[in-house]
Each structure stands twice: as C-alpha cells, then as structure tokens.
C-alpha cells in the first residue's frame, strides 16, 4: 500500500479508519440501536459508497487517457493549461473532466479565444473611391446626357454614318462626321447612357448651390453632356456656331426647332461661363446658362463656351443686335424718367421703352464688374482700348465726339416678357487695370440692386464663386484649377471694392429690385 501524498486522500483514509471499526462494532454488538448510532452508521455507509464510486471513475478515466495519449493533436500538447477550457466556460469544481478534484482555493481564469481576423480600425483602411455619375432629371427621362460622338471624317470612313452639317463654316477646317456610338439608340425609349462616363457638371454634395435653380442644373448638364446631332454656322463675325443637341424632352428647355441648341463660341470667350455664375450669385438672374465643353472636332479639343440658345428672345436688328432701338442720349433721358418704376405708366413724351427702370441698374453693375463694353460703350469712349478690342478693330474709336448719337448694342428682351432684359454676349475682361476702368458704364445710374450689393459687402463672394465654378469641371481645369480661378476672383473683388466706394461717394441708393 502506498502512502497518500495529498491532503484530500489523507482525510479520506482517516475517516475510513474511524468509520469501518465503528460500523463493525455497531452491527456485531448487542447494544440497543439508538437513533444516534443509526444516524452515524448510515452516514459512514454513504461516505464509503461515495469513495467506491470515485475510485471506479478515476480508474476508468485513466484507462481512456492511456489509450488516447499517443494520438493527441498538436494543439492539445501545446496547451499550457489543459485543465482550463478555452471556450470561456468552467466545469464545477468537483470534476474538471479529467478525473481530478481541484483544491478549494483555486482562482479560475477565463481565456478568450483569438480573433480569426484583425479588426478594421476606423481611419486606417483607405476608402474606395466612388465614381460620380450624372443623374438625369425626370424632365429628361432616360435621354439626353450622353450620346453619339463626333469624329473627323478621315477617321470615320469605314463607319456607316450620316454626314451632319457638312463644312462647319470656316475655310480650311476639316469636315466632320457624326458617328453613332455603339449600343446607343437615339430618339427611342431604349436610349441609355454609358455608366462609365461621368458628367462634366459635378455635384458631390446632397444639393446644388442655392443660387442655381433646378432648371439651371438641368440645362448645364444638357449643354455639357448632351449628345451632338449637328453643327451649323451662324452668320456672325465672331465665328460662333449653333450646336444642335439631342435627348431633351419636348418643351423642357428652349430649342431651335424640335431639339435644344447651344451657341458654341471661341475659346477666347471663356469668360462667358464666369459671367453666368457671377450673375446667379449676385441674384440678377439675367444671363443664359453657359458651360465649357471640349470635343475633338471643336478647336482641336480646346475648351469652348456653350451658351443655351433661347428661342423666346425677341428678334434683333443686324446692326446693333438689339431688340430695342436706343442711343446713348435717349438712354440717359429714360434713366431720368425712371420708366415703369412703382407701377407708374410712362408718358409718351418721356421717350421710355418697355424695359423697366431697375433693369438698367442691374446691367450697369454687372457690366462694370466684368468691364463689358459692347452694350453701353461700343465705341470704347470710357477707357483706353487695346488693339485687340473690337472697337479698335472696327474703327469705332474716333467716333466719341458725338456720343449721344451712338447706338446701344446687345439690348435683348424676351417676347413674352418685354419688361426685363436678357444679358447676352457677356465676354468680360480681367486684364483691365484699375486706373483704366470704364466708369462710363455707371453714368446716370442712381440706384443699385440690394441683392447684389449685399453679396459684395458680405465677404462671401470668393467662397461662392469657388463653390459655383467648381461645378463646371472643364472650365475649372481650363483656368488652371483653383490657383487660376483665385486670380480671376481677385480682380472681381477689387472691382467690387471700387464699386462700393463709388456708390458711397455718389450717394446712390441701394433698393430691393425683385419685382
């Protein structure tokens, strides 16, 4: 017999040595079986039975362990604490599944299982770059933003396409053909734009800037991304062409017939795009939507401004391109009469036109900021022109002696709205120095629009211009990105300060003009 080496075994042997003789003596003696003796004998019998069951279970588990010992896996052998389960649970302290009884003073430790994959820490994983696609407005249906492409005729001889427009109009230019894109059906209900092409009008926030209406965004996307159906020369000295676009629902935008059109101008007229955004930010809303666009068949891929063609404009004369006949003298006279202001009907002898008095204030402010002279000062009498200016090219500079007889140009109204002007031909000049600004544009103006003046005073003009011009991807890149745009805004901000000083010095009124 081996000597027990554990405290638990010593206690068991001690109790057995006491219980066995007493049980023998109890059952063999002739003493009366009192209740105390019966309870003590029953307890000893129960304890002996418990010991027998423990010894049998231990011997059985040792035999199984001996059989499984040579076949243990690598994980079981390397486990530093085989008696502690790794699943976060613990068996009762009496038995741990291996036949041994743990001491009472044991600290139980729960081990968590290792992660199968490391957790993604926020900010350490580079997000996937999402592509932004143009979302067609419901007014456009499934049409209109992207479609066939135009290519030179030399590269499209093998394609079965229809020649549109013939010679674009200038001598020496290559003719072009319209190539229908693969998988595109123009004019049908199955027209779908390719998903891989992004819109040139980029809106990354939930909504467009507040100064641009839904109609403005719709028309900008149409001009920037619309499929080209034809190109027609316009009888103009500037070399502008009429760009026929496809895909607009009938009646959604003004057109030149069944399809919408855009007036395609020269790359030197890119300031038309800046003028459109400035007009919307100042709250004037008198210019037509304008975007930048570039194609292989247009100026060798250089960006060009495209202005929406509005068929609702009143017809103009061939000389002044105006729907109203006005000279500088009659214009100054009408400013003194304040025609149609406060609902007052002008008298015939006042020489008023159908144009509201406030319209001239908006026009003067807009033209001064951009130094546009081709409306109110076509002879360049209010500044020192350069050789490149139209007045010098056309020989109009010497005709400044009798300015009252000089006709105004590019004064346009709409047929259904003769009270308000539409600003066209808004080519601005950013290289005009401060000592050569044309103050003749402000002559006779005694009131200025409150909406525009408040923006000029608010110190937010730069921020709004950056936000608005960023929408036009082609224009933004053509001006050299933000660095180039900032230089243009510097010029406008400096002219705005000069204009505000002029308003205070001359005591001009600032009135709400949102009639």
- Cα separation, 187 vs 135, in Å, equals 19
Distance CA 399, CA 403 (A): 8
Is the same domain home to 338 and 426? Answer: yes
Does residue 50 form part of some domain? no
- Pair 303, 390 in one domain: no
435 falls within a domain: yes
Note whether 357 and 341 are within 8 A (CB): yes
Q: What is the DSSP string of 122-163?
A: TTTSPPPPPPP-PPPPTTTTT-SSS--EEEEGGGGTTS----
**Is 384 inside any structural domain?**
yes
pLDDT of residue 22: 61
Q: Which two tokens stand for residue 89?
A: 């649970």
- Picking from 254, 277, 308, the residue at the C-terminal end of a domain is 308
Q: Starting at the earlier edge strand, list the strands of the sheet with 290-293.
A: 227-233, 241-246, 261-264, 304-308, 290-293
CB burial string 30-61: b at 16+ within 10 A, e below? eeeeeeeeeeebeebeeeeeeeeeeeeeeeee
Q: Strand, coil or helix: what is 191?
A: coil
The pLDDT of residue 44: 79
Tell me whether residue 488 is in a domain: yes
How many CA within 13 A on the CB side of residue 51? Answer: 17
For the chain, give the number of residues.
Answer: 515
Residues 357 and 435 in one domain: yes
Is 65 inside a domain boundary? no
pTM, to two decimals = 0.64
> CA 381, 385, 390, 394 torsion: positive or negative?
positive
Q: Do 344 and 221 share a structural domain?
A: no
Split the chain (515 residues) into runs of 10 and give each run's mean pLDDT.
Answer: 54 64 58 70 80 67 54 44 42 48 48 46 44 42 32 32 32 35 34 57 91 95 90 71 71 65 92 98 97 79 92 86 93 94 88 94 98 95 92 83 90 94 96 95 96 95 97 96 97 97 96 82
Considering the domain architecture, whether residues 343 and 249 belong to the same structural domain is answered as no
| Token pair in block for residue 148 | 């066939």
Please tell me whether residues 365 and 394 are part of one structural domain.
yes
Over the stretch 333-375, which tens digit does the pLDDT of each residue have? 999 999 999 888 998 888 899 999 999 999 999 999 999 999 9
Domain boundary at 308, 339, 359, which?
Answer: 308
Same domain membership, residue 299 and residue 254: yes
Q: Give domain status of residue 285, yes or no.
A: yes
Token pair recorded at residue 172:
């020496």
Is 366 a domain residue?
yes
CA 262, CA 309: separation in Å to the nearest integer?
A: 5
- The per-residue pLDDT for 13 is 62
Based on the fold, state whether residues 285 and 337 are members of the same structural domain: no
349 and 424 part of one domain = yes
Q: Is residue 390 within a helix (H) or strand (E), and if so which, with residue range?
A: helix 390-393
Helix, strand, coil percent content, the chain, rounded in steps of 5: 35, 10, 50
Contact status, residue 401 vs residue 336, Cβ threshold 8 Å = no
Question: Are 479 and 507 found together in one domain?
Answer: yes
pLDDT at residue number 244: 84
- Distance of alpha carbon 221 from alpha carbon 219, whole angstroms: 5
Token representation of residue 203: 């809106």
Show the domain range for 235.
214-308
Note whether residue 389 is domain-resident: yes
For 167-275, strand residue ranges (E) read 176-179, 227-233, 241-246, 261-264
Collapse the DSSP code of 7 into the 3-class scheme (helix H, G, I; strand E, B; otherwise coil) and give the result: helix
What's the number of domains the chain is made of? 2
What's the pLDDT score for residue 260?
Answer: 86
333/304 same-domain check: no
225 and 280 belong to one structural domain: yes
């Amino acid at each position: 017999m081996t000597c027990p080496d554990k405290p638990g075994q010593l206690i068991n042997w001690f109790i057995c040595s006491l219980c066995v003789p007493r049980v023998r003596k109890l059952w063999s003696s002739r003493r009366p079986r009192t209740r105390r003796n019966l309870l003590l004998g029953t307890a000893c019998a129960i304890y002996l039975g418990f010991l027998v069951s423990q010894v049998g279970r231990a011997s059985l588990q040792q035999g199984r362990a001996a059989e499984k010992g040579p076949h243990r896996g690598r994980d079981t052998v390397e486990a530093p604490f085989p008696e502690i389960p790794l699943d976060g649970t613990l068996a009762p302290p009496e038995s741990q599944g291996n036949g041994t009884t743990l001491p009472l003073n044991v600290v139980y430790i729960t081990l968590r299982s290792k992660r199968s994959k490391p957790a993604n820490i926020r900010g350490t994983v580079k997000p996937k770059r999402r592509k932004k696609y143009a979302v067609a407005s419901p007014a456009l249906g499934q049409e209109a933003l992207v479609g066939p492409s135009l290519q030179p005729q030399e590269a499209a001889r093998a394609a079965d396409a229809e020649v549109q427009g013939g010679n674009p109009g200038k001598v020496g230019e290559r003719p072009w053909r319209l190539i229908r894109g693969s998988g595109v059906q123009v004019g049908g209900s199955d027209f779908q734009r390719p998903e891989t092409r992004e819109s040139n009008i980029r809106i990354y926030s939930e909504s467009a800037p507040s100064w641009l209406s839904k109609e403005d965004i719709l028309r900008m996307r149409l001009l920037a991304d619309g499929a080209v159906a034809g190109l027609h020369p316009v009888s103009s000295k500037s070399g502008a062409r009429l760009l026929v676009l496809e895909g607009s629902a009938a009646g959604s935008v003004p057109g030149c017939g069944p399809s919408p059109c855009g007036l395609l101008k020269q790359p030197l007229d890119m300031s038309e795009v800046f003028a459109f955004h400035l007009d919307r930010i100042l709250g004037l809303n008198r210019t037509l939507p304008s975007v930048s666009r570039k194609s292989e068949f247009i100026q060798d891929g250089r960006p060009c401004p495209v202005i929406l063609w509005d068929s609702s404009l009143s017809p103009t004369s061939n000389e002044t391109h105006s729907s109203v006949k006005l000279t500088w003298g009659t214009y100054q006279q009408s400013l003194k009469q304040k025609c149609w202001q406060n609902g007052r009907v002008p008298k015939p002898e006042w020489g008023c036109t159908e144009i509201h008095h406030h319209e001239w204030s908006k026009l003067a402010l807009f033209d001064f900021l951009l130094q546009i002279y081709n409306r109110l000062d076509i002879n360049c009498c209010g500044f020192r022109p350069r050789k490149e200016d139209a007045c010098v090219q056309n020989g109009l500079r010497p005709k400044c002696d009798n300015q009252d007889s000089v006709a105004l140009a590019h004064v346009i109204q709409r047929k259904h709205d003769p009270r308000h002007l539409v600003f066209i031909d808004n080519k601005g000049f950013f290289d005009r120095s401060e000592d050569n600004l044309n103050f003749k544009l402000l002559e006779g103006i005694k009131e200025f629009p409150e909406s525009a003046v408040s923006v000029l005073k608010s110190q937010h003009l730069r921020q709004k211009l950056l936000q608005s011009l960023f929408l036009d991807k082609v224009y933004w890149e053509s001006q050299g990105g933000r660095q180039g745009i900032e230089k243009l805004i510097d010029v406008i901000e400096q002219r705005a300060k000069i204009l505000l000083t002029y308003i205070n010095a001359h005591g001009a009124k600032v009135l709400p003009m949102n009639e």
